[in-house]
Amino acid sequence: MKKILSIFTFFIVIQIFSENVLFSQNDKSIRIAFWNLENFFDPFVDSTRVYNEFTEDGDQHWTLSRFYRKRNNIYKAILSLSDGEPLGILGLCEIENAYVAKMIFQETPLKKHNYRIIHYEGDDRRGIDVAMVYSIDKLQLIESEAIKIRSPNNTIIKTRDILYAKFYDRNSDTLHCFVNHWTSRYGGEKETMYLRELNAKTLREKVDSLILVSKEIPKIVIMGDYNDTPFDNSIINVLRAKPEHRYSKNDTLINLFSDEKKLGFEGTLKHQYKWQTFDQIIISNALYKENKSLCYNKKSASIFHADFLFVEDRPYGGKKLFRTYIGPKYQGGYSDHLPIYIDLSK
């Protein structure tokens, strides 16, 4: 009897040891990513909105089969981006609603990763929103909110919300995260600049409030499609996010996507001949410093550029993104933006 108990105890110890080893292997880091999904609408008419172009009878002739094809493209790309492991956090923009997000993360093989979705209906005229997806195996959600963008001088202005969430990791380290989709340059870069600067001002005020409450610089990740480069006024002067190579110990925010040569690819979107980096991840200096808890894994900032995301660019040379649409013409691809990511070490 004692021999049987000893054998049983031995196997229990081995099992516990194996589980702990497995846990440590899968829990060494948290990958944080962002992707603009290029107008990912469901195919159903929304009677509460004027804009219904992405429906079967709309100008884009957006059918259920096209919806499923794009959904399948997206989940396969996310699996590749995450190396088969759950992402800690994935920020998304240009999704219509929570249903679209649920179809990606709860109705595909991604459901095995125990993702949860944070989404609020925003004020965008076309109905496209930002969202955040996180793994409950890696992070615990404490609170979230949609931050409205409002101008005291023009109450008519309504643009996409900034999504904020606060998390604990398994070691009870606190992480603050923001997802952004700032006003596009449609209508002219200079003519719309003040709206992106309004986004940046609103975001900076929230960051400053977190610092005030914490009485120190907390661990912050800011991600999004800013429709501006890392060196435009909205980012570098209004938000005050300094390029990594110009960072000093007195700077609060560091832009990890300011040097394309270190990101593995030359930009996140292409206009004619030129690649640009509108999609960026910015962190606070509390994450940039090496420490025993959660911190930025140096040189991990990357533009995800798998071959299947591209097609040949015959008019301008090289390659271009395999998009869902080019104007009204359906292409059946992925997105007009590349995903980006960083790794946080634990």
From the candidate CATH numbers 3.60.10.10, 3.30.1490.100, 3.40.50.970, 3.30.9.10, the one assigned to the domain spanning 29-345: 3.60.10.10
pLDDT of residue 28: 77
pLDDT of residue 289: 85
pLDDT of residue 27: 64
- Strand-pair partners of 310: 321
Beta-strand relationship, 174-181 and 162-169: antiparallel
List % helix, strand, coil for the chain (3-state, nearest 5): 30, 30, 40
d(CA 338, CA 303): 7
d(CA 2, CA 6): 6
pLDDT of residue 151: 81
pLDDT of residue 346: 77
Token code pair at residue 204: 């900076």
pLDDT of residue 99: 97
Block mean pLDDT (10 aa), the chain, length 346:
40 35 53 98 91 93 97 98 94 97 97 97 92 97 96 78 95 93 94 96 97 93 98 98 90 96 96 96 93 89 98 96 96 98 93
The DSSP line for 173-237 is -EEEEEEEEPPP-TT-HHHHHHHHHHHHHHHHHHHHHHHHHHTS---EEEEEE-SS-TTSHIIII
pLDDT of residue 266: 95
> Is the model's pTM score more than 0.85?
yes
Q: Are 20 and 320 in contact (CB under 8 A)?
A: no
d(CA 140, CA 148): 24
d(CA 108, CA 195): 37
d(CA 86, CA 83): 8
Handedness of CA 345, 136, 133, 201 (dihedral sign): negative
pLDDT of residue 291: 75
